[in-house]
Structure 1
């Protein structure tokens, strides 16, 4: 089932890892409080971040805030080489002036992550920086050397520049910011019982205002979106975790009763979960 990883240190870095993907979570999805830089060196891999599915190519970078459930799906029989760097944004705040901090960290705050397809020069520059970081190991006590932080800031500056070239950052203000906060709350808690009162209390809003605000920005009610999110999670599990029983998929996706799950799934997709899985198997879109 989805698992929240708790990291003891402010920074963790694995350079050019080539072991097969293994997760302590039963379905492979996990989340954590740290920001993450994921660089894909080699292989064939689908990466899921929240509701977004990325077909990665070597040289692609994913930037994630970590709270959104995510999981790689590398294709067996091919190399799977990646570098992953997790860091506490509060650590960066100690080394970067406030005027520059937003530009460095804003790309990590998108609910479905930020994917960058680097050009040849950008890719070469980033791979050089990642290799240099690898030569600056973090101590077993979790203390981060100044030299490591300086190099990490170079990495963040390069990625922020790439983000500006691909898509100018959009500022979120007022009602839009609240709408995104609701989406973020659902992303973190969709597998649990969620009430409108819980969401409103979390944002310090009235229930009626939170409901109307969300609908004005998304065109659907909060609970319509919640059910959509749960059904989408079920679709991913049906495709990529074909050995999981339907009842377990129902539970992991946030439905208490399998009968309710089957009914909602059919309303959303037009077929039962069993028929949906059978169709995937028949089309060859099986587990990667």
Structure 2
């Protein structure tokens, strides 16, 4: 928890992980924290326990119930909208993609729920009461092991994470389609977001997007901000630097990431990257 500013959410303050493979936290805020739109270089499991919260992910707003779980990957731009009046409580698990790749060699693709959620553009799991109790219990064991100095505690924490991911996938694929009614979305905005994600290297002007998605410029600009919480320009820049960061993390040369993500001018790329992540692409490349 941030001691200097207890109302500033850790999601916003940190976009990198301190532990090598994963981090697991339990948060309880009597006063809603201030959270900006953000993205991470890891997979995130957001396990909602209490509060009055809507969660915006890539233009879709999820009305959360206690027990809902949200899945975001390292491309998703997201933000919780937290209203006062109820304690805001949740588990948050951050998982390094490289760890998941190694874990998948055990014989099961533990990223299936994340990849399927991204393909279907629907990021929520609503476990039944039995699944919910089980998943919460695993989170609590994971936290106890993380904080324990006893022999093998670190190994146990990893074992509990693997167990959690197995049952998370089971809960995801058992979630009924009927829960989609608790989402606020706009078909045209979804179409524009998908077009941006698929065409980052292109000239994504308002004129180009309006023409490609068959919508008026004025209507597109207004509706996009209403549903995503960001202007078109803000969303495109965030998305471009996010994908560039992921490419650099995976070993791509900085200039390749710059050009393939639609930055035709390196100086503009450098400024946008440093503004978003607090360091230059070269520094990030050296760290990766």
Q: TM-score, normalised by structure 2?
A: 0.57
Structure 1 position 162, deviation (Å): 1.3
Deviates more, 1:226-235 or 1:100-109: 226-235
Which of 38, 41, 45 is equivalent to 1:33? 41
Alignment of 1:41-190 (within 5 A): 41-97=49-105, 99-101=107-109, 102-103=111-112, 105-107=114-116, 109-110=118-119, 112-137=121-146, 145-166=154-175, 186-187=196-197
User: Is this contact kept in 2: 1:129–1:151, CA < 8 A?
Assistant: yes
RMSD: 4.3
In the aligned structure 2, how far is the partner of 1:236 from the partner of 1:156? 31
The equivalent of 2:28 in structure 1 is 17
User: Is this contact kept in 1: 2:56–2:228, CA < 8 A?
Assistant: no
Q: Stretches of 4+ moved more than 6 A in 1?
A: 225-229
In the aligned structure 2, how far is the partner of 1:226 from the partner of 1:187? 19
In the aligned structure 2, how far is the partner of 1:97 from the partner of 1:229? 44
Cα 1:49/1:151, change in 2 over 3 Å: same
Which of 212, 234, 237 is equivalent to 1:221? 212
Cα 1:147/1:231, change in 2 over 3 Å: farther
User: Is this contact kept in 2: 1:64–1:112, CA < 8 A?
Assistant: no
Deviations 1:87-125 (A, max 9, x none): 112112223326412536534534745201111101100
Name structure 2 gaps, 5 residues minimum.
1-11, 178-189, 238-288
Count of residue pairs brought into register by the alignment: 205
In the aligned structure 1, how far is the partner of 2:127 from the partner of 2:220? 30
In the aligned structure 2, how far is the partner of 1:37 from the partner of 1:229? 31
User: Is this contact kept in 2: 1:45–1:72, CA < 8 A?
Assistant: yes
Deviates more, 1:158-167 or 1:38-47: 158-167
Q: TM-score, normalised by structure 1?
A: 0.57
Cα 1:227/1:61, change in 2 over 3 Å: farther
Which of 219, 230, 235 is equivalent to 2:226? 235
The equivalent of 1:272 in structure 2 is none
In the aligned structure 2, how far is the partner of 1:89 from the partner of 1:225? 39
Structure 1 position 165, deviation (Å): 1.6
Cα 1:222/1:147, change in 2 over 3 Å: farther
Deviates more, 1:92-101 or 1:121-130: 92-101
Structure 1 position 86, deviation (Å): 1.0
Name structure 1 gaps, 5 residues minimum.
169-179, 199-210, 215-219, 239-247, 256-288
